A and B are shown apart, each in its own frame.
Chain A
């Protein structure tokens, strides 16, 4: 791709960006959200047309007018949000729109479609029947089915946009192995990811975009976390742990015998004190989200004891938790955290409307005052408090969720994957907000699957494995190795730990 330019009304998305990927090469495409990665790849995939510049395949200039053109050229796009039809089976998904037909009535040739699907599944080392319905498969395998579809289209270039964002660690490992395998088979991969560890592991080269321009390229030897980040943000940033100011106090939140409907019978207990950020690490599926949902009364079957400041709380609905100052920022921002069609103001005041009303009539002026306070203190980039949340970027949306609870003076703030899909700059701001909350005396419980985040942000880390806490690591023992060992269910002998109780 040479000197690609693309403008949208009001913004220049791409300004003379060039990119090259060789046969059998894994090219990592990095950049903050809004740097132009997706736009560039959508041009390659035929979704958008460039305003200037040209695309060459095998040295020949080509015109990619639509997705079908891209397919014909062997370019396949695996989107972050999967494009599968989950009420159909594997074979139907792989051959959607190209079903083999048979007989005078042109019916689907069922034998052939299943037989033809098999070799692609084998090539991916996927041990499932082509007759399995997609909704019976975990996300990781659904994604593999998409890759199988790409292979069935003779894809030579596969674009993967944040492919691991909803995969567990072992699934991620599997996917990365697969990328290497595809590469050996001569397939070129363009790999978009915020997870620099993955980039480090598999990329042959990396290209970094910043504000719609090439910020630089890195060869295999030069790829490192620091190099990529400094190109992305255009300056050196120190991403390191900022210690807690608060002195360690006695346990403020005590959870005993907590269970969730996902792992009935598995009980969880932990303590946390004010002013600390307790990381909750573990593999995806370890039951972390489920446990915190049970704690705030969102799991009808869940149970357990929650003590706050020495008092036993009765929590059976989210309202009870909220009344005690225990708030949850859920993992699924758009689905569970926000009503995106509503304004910033309406979202911030939703859980506490009683504060803004007399005789059940809402005072919009009071609402605006509080919403604007949060917008200013959290530096939400929004034209104003009357903007619909759907029009904000992911990072700013997350700040709105935080603002909603911050306006209600949290005692315990539970954050589930607080920075998923958020760019590096906004991430740092969210960490800063979390630290400020803790310094102001709140207790923060952070679930994260991002190892870097866990290590950089937490004061202590509790690690879960299959519905149980396998260990709690003090700051001094928080290493990737220790956390991983606990996450896969192996206890760490006390002798190996530096911190002694």
Chain B
């Protein structure tokens, strides 16, 4: 809990400073936009976090976005699938890919890094091949509006009935979906048997196996869940960008997810992490990107700023852990 508090303080301070320098940060439009992005990024980061807690890693997320991202508009516009079917497909495909990853990792005993790195390369290649390296847009696809409102609508948006002016800008759909998913995932990770097994497997797979737990199933299931969450946020992302360029849609997204999880207290050694931490980590990264824009910092420095903050975050965490070790009384 202490870890989360530290990074939450950092987030709070950053928001305060940014808001003080540029009040636009706190404008309804900007906040809604941030919430929208936190929603999209948060959903897949939760999946990556889950995998990291078992001591694994998932590098294939960004390429899954690209593959599903080109297939979804093609399904709607070129193959004229009903939107429900297209939606299910975009979610089931990454789950299936996750299942393949999990199976290869637990049965063929290949390191998660390598399996998902291959995924990263293969899915990106397939996406570019299928899209013939073009950009795929939604245009006026059948069922487009229904999906679009699901993906980028606002909840509780309200207007003044007389003037027609907006009173409350509403909660962006991705943020609402993230909230629901995060609550479910919180119970799953922190209160359920499954969650307990995840932490146990992440820290000591052998002991967990000796306790009669099917560790292979536990580990591979996290890749399927990560696939599910990737699928959901992939749909949201495709509608957010509105057009999908096969060669760079979703580039680096897996790294945003890993960075958010690590900032939020997940250990790459496994066995540590929390849903709240991952959420705060995601929010911090989004706010950082936003403040780079708002404070007039050259946007080319974007990555450098993020990298520096993650670095400072883990260094500070290490420092406090060492201190706690030397002086167990504080612990």
Beta-carbon contacts under 8 Å, A353-400 to B: 353-354, 357, 360-362, 391
- Of A318-326, A429-437, A488-496, which stretch is located at the interface? A318-326
Contact residue among A321, A323, A342, A360 (Cβ-Cβ distance under 8 Å from B203): A342
Interchain CB contact under 8 A, A361 and B191: yes
Indicate if B12 sits at the interface (CB-CB under 8 A): no
Chain A residues lying within 8 Å of B191, measured Cβ to Cβ, are 361-362
Chain B residues lying within 8 Å of A351, measured Cβ to Cβ, are 211-213
Interchain CB contact under 8 A, A319 and B210: no
Query: Taking CB as reference atom, which chain B residue is nearest A363?
Result: B191
Interchain CB contact under 8 A, A360 and B212: no
Interchain CB contact under 8 A, A350 and B194: no
Query: Taking CB as reference atom, which chain A residue is nearest B192?
Result: A360
Interchain CB contact under 8 A, A317 and B204: no
In the bound complex, CA of A10 to CA of B210 (Å): 36
Interchain CB contact under 8 A, A319 and B214: yes
Q: How far is the CB of A334 from chain B (nearest CB, A)?
A: 8
Q: How far is the CB of A77 from chain B (nearest CB, A)?
A: 23
For B192, B199, B207, B210, the residue with the greatest tally of chain A CB atoms inside 10 Å of its CB is B210
Indicate if B209 sits at the interface (CB-CB under 8 A): yes
Indicate if B200 sits at the interface (CB-CB under 8 A): yes
In the bound complex, CA of A322 to CA of B196 (Å): 19
Chain B residues lying within 8 Å of A361, measured Cβ to Cβ, are 187, 191-192
In the bound complex, CA of A188 to CA of B214 (Å): 51
Interchain CB contact under 8 A, B207 and A341: no
Interchain CB contact under 8 A, A341 and B203: yes
For A317, A323, A362, the residue with the greatest tally of chain B CB atoms inside 10 Å of its CB is A362
Indicate if B208 sits at the interface (CB-CB under 8 A): yes
Interchain CB contact under 8 A, A354 and B193: yes
Over the window 9-34 of chain B, the binary record of Cβ atoms lying under 8 Å from chain A Cβ atoms (1 yes, 0 no) is 00000000000000000000000000
Indicate if A336 sits at the interface (CB-CB under 8 A): yes
Beta-carbon contacts under 8 Å, B59-117 to A: none
Interchain CB contact under 8 A, A350 and B208: yes
In the bound complex, CA of A404 to CA of B200 (Å): 15
For A10, A339, A341, the residue with the greatest tally of chain B CB atoms inside 10 Å of its CB is A339
Indicate if B327 sits at the interface (CB-CB under 8 A): yes
Beta-carbon contacts under 8 Å, B281-331 to A: 327-329
Interchain CB contact under 8 A, B200 and A350: yes
Interchain CB contact under 8 A, B271 and A341: yes
Contacts A319-B212, A322-B212; is A336 near B206 (CB within 8 Å)?
yes
Interchain CB contact under 8 A, A346 and B196: yes
Chain A residues lying within 8 Å of B206, measured Cβ to Cβ, are 332, 335-336
Over the window 340-353 of chain A, the binary record of Cβ atoms lying under 8 Å from chain B Cβ atoms (1 yes, 0 no) is 11100010001101
Q: How far is the CB of A329 from chain B (nearest CB, A)?
A: 9
In the bound complex, CA of A362 to CA of B210 (Å): 21
In the bound complex, CA of A339 to CA of B206 (Å): 9
Interchain CB contact under 8 A, B210 and A339: no
A-B contacts counted at CB < 8 A amount to: 76
Interchain CB contact under 8 A, B196 and A9: no
Over the window 256-271 of chain A, the binary record of Cβ atoms lying under 8 Å from chain B Cβ atoms (1 yes, 0 no) is 0000000000000000
Chain A residues lying within 8 Å of B203, measured Cβ to Cβ, are 339-342
Query: Taking CB as reference atom, which chain B residue is nearest A405?
Result: B211
Q: How far is the CB of A337 from chain B (nearest CB, A)?
A: 6
Interchain CB contact under 8 A, B327 and A9: yes
Interchain CB contact under 8 A, A353 and B196: yes
Query: Taking CB as reference atom, which chain A residue is nearest B199?
Result: A342
For B193, B209, B271, the residue with the greatest tally of chain A CB atoms inside 10 Å of its CB is B193
Beta-carbon contacts under 8 Å, A209-239 to B: none
Indicate if A208 sits at the interface (CB-CB under 8 A): no
Over the window 309-321 of chain A, the binary record of Cβ atoms lying under 8 Å from chain B Cβ atoms (1 yes, 0 no) is 0000000011101
Chain A residues lying within 8 Å of B213, measured Cβ to Cβ, are 319, 350-351
Query: Taking CB as reference atom, which chain B residue is nearest A404?
Result: B211
Beta-carbon contacts under 8 Å, B244-274 to A: 271-272
Chain A residues lying within 8 Å of B197, measured Cβ to Cβ, are 353
Interchain CB contact under 8 A, B207 and A317: no
In the bound complex, CA of A336 to CA of B214 (Å): 14
Beta-carbon contacts under 8 Å, B198-245 to A: 199-200, 203-204, 206-214
Interchain CB contact under 8 A, B204 and A350: no
Q: How far is the CB of A315 from chain B (nearest CB, A)?
A: 11
In the bound complex, CA of A171 to CA of B142 (Å): 77
Interchain CB contact under 8 A, B207 and A362: no
Q: How far is the CB of B82 from chain A (nearest CB, A)?
A: 34
For A9, A318, A321, the residue with the greatest tally of chain B CB atoms inside 10 Å of its CB is A318
In the bound complex, CA of A341 to CA of B207 (Å): 12
In the bound complex, CA of A298 to CA of B206 (Å): 10
Contact residue among B196, B199, B211, B329 (Cβ-Cβ distance under 8 Å from A318): B211
Over the window 95-126 of chain A, the binary record of Cβ atoms lying under 8 Å from chain B Cβ atoms (1 yes, 0 no) is 00000000000000000000000000000000
Indicate if A26 sits at the interface (CB-CB under 8 A): no
Chain A residues lying within 8 Å of B199, measured Cβ to Cβ, are 339, 342
Q: How far is the CB of A52 from chain B (nearest CB, A)?
A: 22
Interchain CB contact under 8 A, A350 and B214: no
In the bound complex, CA of A478 to CA of B210 (Å): 32
Q: How far is the CB of B177 from chain A (nearest CB, A)?
A: 23
Q: How far is the CB of A338 from chain B (nearest CB, A)?
A: 6
Chain B residues lying within 8 Å of A163, measured Cβ to Cβ, are none
Indicate if A330 sits at the interface (CB-CB under 8 A): yes
Chain A residues lying within 8 Å of B329, measured Cβ to Cβ, are 9-10
In the bound complex, CA of A391 to CA of B324 (Å): 13
Q: How far is the CB of B17 from chain A (nearest CB, A)?
A: 36
In the bound complex, CA of A351 to CA of B196 (Å): 11
Indicate if A328 sits at the interface (CB-CB under 8 A): yes
Q: How far is the CB of B187 from chain A (nearest CB, A)?
A: 7
Contacts A339-B203, A341-B271; is A362 near B212 (CB within 8 Å)?
no
Chain A residues lying within 8 Å of B196, measured Cβ to Cβ, are 346, 350, 353, 362
Contacts A339-B200, A350-B200; is A330 near B210 (CB within 8 Å)?
yes
Chain A residues lying within 8 Å of B210, measured Cβ to Cβ, are 298, 318, 328, 330, 336-337
Q: How far is the CB of B150 from chain A (nearest CB, A)?
A: 29
Interchain CB contact under 8 A, A318 and B209: yes
Chain B residues lying within 8 Å of A360, measured Cβ to Cβ, are 192-194
Chain B residues lying within 8 Å of A341, measured Cβ to Cβ, are 203-204, 271-272
Contact residue among A10, A338, A354 (Cβ-Cβ distance under 8 Å from B207): A338
Query: Taking CB as reference atom, which chain A residue is nearest B201?
Result: A339
Chain A residues lying within 8 Å of B214, measured Cβ to Cβ, are 317, 319
Interchain CB contact under 8 A, A339 and B193: no
Query: Taking CB as reference atom, which chain A residue is nearest B200?
Result: A339
Q: How far is the CB of A410 from chain B (nearest CB, A)?
A: 13
Offer 8 A-B interface pairs, CB within 8 angstroms, sorted by A.
A339-B200, A340-B204, A341-B204, A341-B271, A342-B200, A351-B212, A360-B193, A360-B194
Given A339-B200, A361-B192, 18 other A-B residues pairs in contact with their CB atoms under 8 A: A10-B329, A298-B209, A298-B210, A317-B214, A318-B209, A318-B211, A321-B212, A322-B211, A332-B206, A335-B206, A335-B207, A336-B210, A339-B203, A346-B200, A350-B200, A351-B213, A357-B192, A362-B191
Q: Ordered nearest first, which 4 A-B pairs have the shortest CB separation? A: A351-B211, A322-B212, A319-B212, A318-B212
